[in-house]
């Protein structure tokens, strides 16, 4: 299969929203259709495009209750994309993520790059030296993103097994990825009313310490550390 046209895929907001839901878990068609504000026909078209490009795949399986089998979709692509576009540079590279990343330290020596190299050959050498440092950064990025991917999968599996609430997990997933979220963000992303989002955030806070202030939600890092050390009420769960 040829390389997927990832920028074409990500250039459409509906496809980005569909992928966002699919990063939480595999989803059946009607669930996805209810989570975006376009017609089911349009959703079907976008899913077909992404399946054709090899980003997702579809399969059928029985639902949790008695009834006909449902068509599900899941992401089958694992890569980080880096792109630069300036009047002088245009390039992009896909970094394939690994299931078992090798975590190691990288030494980046940017201070050794000359600020004003003199002469054409010196400039070319400086560019090559800078490119060498960039390759180290890309390898570090590939390792970190591979590690985050593994951790997120384990978080999802553990949360669904121990708590079992898909909406809470979707909120946690979004907050972990972006650092913080607003009720408006989550309402738009999950296609839920704000009061429903607020209720789910409060439920999530029983299991994962959050800071909820002025409509913004983020992980309470200090309380998380306390819970891990068993300080105060940290022995719960």
CA dihedral over 40, 44, 47, 53, signed as positive or negative: negative
pLDDT tens column, 57-106: 999 887 665 567 888 999 999 999 999 999 999 999 999 999 999 899 98
Residue 216 in contact with residue 182, Cβ under 8 Å? Answer: yes
d(CA 144, CA 122): 33
Domain boundaries, the chain: 6-75, 79-148, 166-229
Cα distances (angstroms) measured from residue 3 to each of 49, 52, 69? 14, 11, 32
The pLDDT tens digits for 120-135 are: 999 999 999 999 999 9
Which tens digit of pLDDT belongs to each residue from 200-209?
Answer: 999 999 999 9
C-alpha–C-alpha distance, residues 120 and 209, integer Å: 56
User: What does the CA dihedral 201, 204, 209, 212 come to, rounded to 10 degrees?
Assistant: 10
For domain 6-75, give the fold.
Arc Repressor Mutant, subunit A (1.10.10)
Distance (Å) of CA 124 to CA 55, 114, 190: 38, 12, 50
Same fold, 6-75 and 166-229: yes
**187 touches 194 (CB < 8 A):** yes
Do 14 and 44 touch, CB atoms closer than 8 A? no
The residue assigned the tokens 């029983």 is 206
pLDDT tens digits along 32-58: 988 888 999 999 999 999 999 999 999
| Measured distance CA(109)–CA(130) in Å, rounded | 9
Domain 166-229 has CATH 1.10.10.10: yes
What is the per-residue pLDDT across 169-186, written as a single tens digit (0 to 9) for each?
999 999 999 999 999 999
**Phi, psi for 86 (deg, rounded to 5):** -140, 175
Nearest-angstrom CA–CA distance, 127 and 110: 12
Residue 7 reports pLDDT greater than 70: yes
Which residues fall within 8 angstroms of residue 77, CB to CB, at 6 or more apart? 4, 54, 55, 56
């Amino acid at each position: 299969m040829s390389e997927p046209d990832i920028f074409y895929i990500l250039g459409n907001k509906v496809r980005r929203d569909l992928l966002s839901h699919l990063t939480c878990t595999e989803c059946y068609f009607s669930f996805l259709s209810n989570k975006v504000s376009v017609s089911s026909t349009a959703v079907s078209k976008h899913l077909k495009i992404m399946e054709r490009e090899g980003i997702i795949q579809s399969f059928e399986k029985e639902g949790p209750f008695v009834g006909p089998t449902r068509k599900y979709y899941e992401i089958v692509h694992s890569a980080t994309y880096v792109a630069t576009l300036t009047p002088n540079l245009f390039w992009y590279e896909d970094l394939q993520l690994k299931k078992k990343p090798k975590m190691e330290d990288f030494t980046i020596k940017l201070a050794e790059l000359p600020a004003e190299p003199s002469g054409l050959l010196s400039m070319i050498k400086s560019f090559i030296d800078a490119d060498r440092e960039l390759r180290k950064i890309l390898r570090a990025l590939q390792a970190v993103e591979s590690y985050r991917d593994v951790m997120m999968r384990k978080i999802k599996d553990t949360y669904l097994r121990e708590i079992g609430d898909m909406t809470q997990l979707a909120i946690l997933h979004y907050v972990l990825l972006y650092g913080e979220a607003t009720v408006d963000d989550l309402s738009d992303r999950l296609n839920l009313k704000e009061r429903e989002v607020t209720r789910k955030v409060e439920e999530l806070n029983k299991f994962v310490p959050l800071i909820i202030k002025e409509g913004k939600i983020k992980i309470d890092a200090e309380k998380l550390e306390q819970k891990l050390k068993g300080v105060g009420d940290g022995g719960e769960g």
